[in-house]
Structures are given as structure tokens and as C-alpha cells.
Amino acid sequence: MEILPGIHTIPGVKLSKAYLIEGETLALVDAGLPWHGRTVLRYIASIGRKPEELSHILVTHSHPDHTGGIYRVAKKTGAAVVAHGDDTRSRRGGGSTLGYMGIFGALPVPMPFLGRMPIVTPVQDGELLSIGGGIRVIHTPGHTDGSVCFLDESTKTLFSGDTIFSDGTRISRSVPFFGYDDQAYRNSLKRLAGMDFDAVCGGHGSPLLDGGAGILGELLDARPDPPTWGRFLMSMPRRLRRSLPLTGEDP
């Protein structure tokens, strides 16, 4: 579904969000859970484009709800998988693959799809990727060490992963998670609020189409402290009753 000129959300990718940037070539931002790889490929076909036209898979961070579908999509399309080095780990035999933070790395059970990740092209803060009018990499550590936002400079659209979310009108911050760094997170948000973007396409929730940086600045002024688990859990009954998003902070 095209939400802004050349920017699509991929229907059927549930729980988290995947976005397709459509121009001369295609770029994907995140890829949902393992079974969403197929959903992404089907969507590309449904808008009349070919799998080979996908040049990049941009990874906002390494959590499995955003990266599970990458294996299938990368294999079929040959797209470069782009992520920040701090969310990768070295692979035996050379190169690096996506690395999983905190609890995911510590789980005693084998998670087969995690072992089959393609080699990653590491990117750094400030890099400009030649996708469409240019996509800027902004390193925003906090949610994970290697969390990045991707700023489409020509449309002023920020792909923010789990660093910030939107419900379509507001912006909210993520609750602490395993591997979370509070100080880094606060610094990243301050930095983002000083940037120039209108739309916010977050890793969960509904995209915000206008006013992004200003709305983030207002949130930081009104509530300087990010949400806590206590507040998050207390808001749960109300969220469920009113079908509010189960991520981010109390509305």
C-alpha cells in the first residue's frame, strides 16, 4: 500500500512493519518474521516489479521480528543487506552476519533461521546510500547498539525501526529491552529531534505522515524520561480494551 509517493507499507507483514521504497530500483526496510519473506516477494510482484530490482535490504536493527524474512528475500533477489556493524557479528569463514542482542543471543534453544543470515554490508553513521534521491544512515544506538534510522532526504521520511514509533498522529518511544542502553537512547532521540524529517515510518504502529521532528521535540520537552516497564505494564489493560498499540509509551 503506497502511503507516500514511492513509499509502501507491505500488507500482511504483521507484528512489525516492512517498507518498500520504490524508484528506478527498489529498497526494502526490514522484513518481518521468517514467514514474511514470502509476503514481501509477493508484494513486489503485485506492484509489477521484479525481484532482481530490489537492490538493498536496509536493516534498522537485528531483532528477529524485523529480520526474520531477510534470508528468503535476499536469496531470491540478490539484494545487499545493509546494517550497522554494532548489530552484526563476525562469521566463521569471513564477513559478518546480523547479530542478535541480549536474550536472543542467550537463548538455549536453536533458532535455525538465525544461523542462515546472509553476509551483511556494514554501514556507518552519516553514510549516504545511493537509493532514489539518497538515503542517509543515522546511527541511533539505545534500543540496540547498532540501531539505525534511515532518512530518505528527498521526501524527508525517517525509517525509525524500534527507536521511535508512531500511531499515525503521535510519536512514542520504546520501552527498555534486553540490550537497551538508556543514556545512548536519550542522546539518540535528542539528536533525531534536531534533524529535518516530516514522516516517521516506525518498526511498529502506523506511519506518521507529517510534522515528525517537531512532534518528537514536543514529546521530549513534555516527558523527558523514556517509558518504563512499570508504566508500560500498567497501561496494558487500557491498551487492550481500546486496541491501542502494544509498543511504546502510554498515550
Restricting to residues 65-104, name those near Zn ion by CB under 5 A: 65
The letter for the amino acid at 17 is: K
Gap between the Cα atoms of 37 and 40, Å rounded: 5
Restricting to residues 52-71, name those near Zn ion by CB under 5 A: 63, 65
Scanning 8-16, 34-42, 75-83, 229-237 for contacts with Zn ion by CB under 5 A, the matching segment is 8-16
**Size of site (CB under 5 A) for Zn ion:** 5
DSSP 49-89: --GGGEEEEE-S---HHHHTTHHHHHHHH-PEEEEEGGGEE
Q: Which is nearer to Zn ion, 118 or 142 (CB)?
A: 142
- Under the binding rule (CB under 5 A), the answer on residue 203 touching Zn ion is yes
To Zn ion, the closest distance from the beta carbon of 177 in angstroms equals 6
Q: Which is nearer to Zn ion, 132 or 142 (CB)?
A: 142
For 91, phi then psi, to 5°, come to -110, 140
Residue 104, H or E segment: helix 102-106
Gap between the Cα atoms of 31 and 90, Å rounded: 22
Q: Which is nearer to Zn ion, 59 or 132 (CB)?
A: 59
Scanning 2-10, 15-23, 51-59, 222-230 for contacts with Zn ion by CB under 5 A, the matching segment is 15-23
To Zn ion, the closest distance from the beta carbon of 9 in angstroms equals 15
- Over the range 169-203, which residues count as b (16 or more CB within 10 Å of their CB) and which as e? ebbbbbbbeebbbeebbbebbeebbeeebbbbbbb
Q: Are residues 195 and 153 in contact, defined by beta-carbon separation less than 8 angstroms?
A: no
Q: Would strands 96-98 and 88-90 be described as parallel, antiparallel, or unpaired?
A: antiparallel
Task: State the Cα torsion 159-165-167-172 to the nearest 10°.
Answer: -140
To Zn ion, the closest distance from the beta carbon of 178 in angstroms equals 10
Q: Which is nearer to Zn ion, 128 or 246 (CB)?
A: 246
Q: Which is nearer to Zn ion, 22 or 31 (CB)?
A: 31
To Zn ion, the closest distance from the beta carbon of 98 in angstroms equals 12
The contact pattern for Zn ion, residues 147-166, with x = CB under 5 A and - = no contact, is: ---------------x----
To Zn ion, the closest distance from the beta carbon of 174 in angstroms equals 7
Task: Output the nine-digit C-alpha cell for 27.
Answer: 529498497
Q: Which is nearer to Zn ion, 16 or 140 (CB)?
A: 16
Q: Which is nearer to Zn ion, 65 or 152 (CB)?
A: 65
In the complex, which residues of this chain contact Zn ion (CB under 5 A)? 16, 63, 65, 162, 203
